[in-house]
Amino acid sequence: MEASKSNDKFCEVCGVLAEGICFKCSQYLCDSCFKLVHNRKENSQHKKEKIDYFVPIETKCPSHPNHPMVLFCLDEKGKIIEIYNIK
């Protein structure tokens, strides 16, 4: 059995080693739980991304340390159209 790495992420449903992340659900999930959570119609279009592609980032705003970091999308006029909280 391979030793656990400090940066391993675990499934937020069952606790085993996570194999992916769903950004829409903001959850790390194993393959089985991803299928379980996403078999409902409202979640069926969500995509599982490989954890290996992402580098952990600081989750607190460096300018406002009491506030969580957020990402946001802008439309072509610069108006915020979607906000994502980073956990």
CA distance 26 to 31: 15
pLDDT in tens, 28-85: 999 999 999 888 888 888 888 887 766 556 677 778 878 777 777 888 888 888 777 6
CATH 4.10.640.40 fits 1-56, yes or no: yes
Please, what's the b/e burial string for 8-35 (b: 16 or more CB within 10 A of its CB; e: otherwise)?
Answer: ebebbbeeeebbbbbeeeebbbbeebbe
What is the distance between the alpha carbons of residues 69 and 57, in angstroms, rounded to a whole number?
Answer: 9
pTM: predicted TM-score of the whole model, two decimal places: 0.54
Which residues of the chain are in CATH 4.10.640.40 domains?
A: 1-56
